[in-house]
Amino acid sequence: AIDHFTTTAIFICYESIFSNEIDKNITKSDLIIHLTNDAWFGAYNGPQQHLVQMRARAIEQGLPVMRSANTGISALIDPYGRIIKKIPLNVEGFLDANIPKKLDKTLYSKIGAVYWNFFLICLFALLYFLCLKRKIKRN
C-alpha cells in the first residue's frame, strides 16, 4: 500500500551513489525510487555494491527505497537500511510488500554531507593534536 506517500524522488542508475545529488533533490519526499540497469556490472560485485549504496541513502535520508534493477538486485529497503524483500541477481520477478513509512528528518538530512565532512576534519585534527601533545609530553 502506498497511501501514505505524497511525493517520491526518482533516481536513475548511478545518480544514487552520490549523496550530494540525493541531498539536492530529495526535499519533501516520502519515498525514494531507484531505477537501474546493472547489466554492465556482469556477475561481479557491482550489483551488490550498488544495492549497499542505496541502503546508505535510505539511512541518510530516513526514507524507504524501492529499487528496481532489470538485471541487478531489486529490493525494498526500509528507512533503517534493512532489506525487507529482494529479488536476486538475474532473476525475474516482482515484490509484494508493504512500504514502510519514512522517519522524521535524520541529522544527516538536516545538515548534509558538507557539515559531516567538516566535522570529520575537525575530529581528525583534534585527534592529531592530542596525539602530538602526548608525544611531546613523553619527550
pLDDT (tens digit, 9 = 90+) per residue, 23-62? Answer: 777 778 889 999 998 887 877 788 898 899 999 999 999 9
pLDDT of 19 > 70? The answer is: yes
At 40 the pLDDT is: 79
Q: Report pTM.
A: 0.77
Please give the Cα distance from 132 to 23 (Å, whole number).
37
At 41 the pLDDT is: 80
Strand pairing partners for 65?
32, 77
Pick the CATH number of 8-104 from 3.40.50.620, 2.40.50.140, 3.60.110.10, 1.10.10.10: 3.60.110.10
At 5 the pLDDT is: 65
Please give the Cα distance from 18 to 5 (Å, whole number).
24
Backbone angles phi, psi at 106, to 5 degrees: -80, 160
Q: What would the pLDDT profile of 87-129 be if each residue is shown by its tens digit?
A: 999 899 999 998 999 998 888 888 777 777 888 899 999 999 9
At 129 the pLDDT is: 92
Strand pairing partners for 31?
8
Give yes or no for a contact between 89 and 72, defined as CB atoms under 8 angstroms apart: yes
Please give the Cα distance from 106 to 110 (Å, whole number).
6
